[in-house]
Amino acid sequence: MDKINKLSLPASILIASIVFGGFYYFSQLNKQKSIERMQETALAQEKKSENSSVEKQIQDEYRKECEASQNKTIEQLNDFLDTCSKYNSESYCLNSEAGKLYQGELTPESIQACINNKKLKYSQ
């Protein structure tokens, strides 16, 4: 009986150490997985941000191209009005078929439509 009492204390300490060690191990494992998930989320967010900035740059390029095209159209309209106004009134020139065609291309919506067309064209 004395032998059992001498062995029970070390056995109890060993079993308690294994149980507490297991709890500690699994809590550290859970903490590590949580940190990895946070890093993956941060990486995904960063990647999304990069894609968004690239998309914004592309949209800005499209906007510049469309605005340049519209500026060219404005120059053409002014040339048309100069030529047409020599022989007719300005209101006649603006209401003519050619004048209406130019005016249709000079709305703010026309720039957005141009950008959307470029997106569709280059995404295919």
- Can you give the pLDDT at residue 40? 93
Angle between helices 108-123 and 2-85 (to 10 degrees): 120
Q: CA-CA distances (angstroms) from residue 82 to 102, 108, 123?
A: 14, 24, 40
From first to last of the 124 residues of the chain, give the pLDDT tens digit: 566 677 788 888 999 999 999 999 999 999 999 999 999 998 888 888 877 787 788 788 888 887 787 777 777 777 777 777 777 777 777 777 766 666 666 666 666 777 777 666 666 5
What does the DSSP 8-state code read for residue 124? -
Grouping H, G, I as helix, E, B as strand and the rest as coil, residue 88 is: coil
pLDDT at 124: 55
Residue 5 is predicted with a pLDDT of 73
This prediction's pTM: 0.43
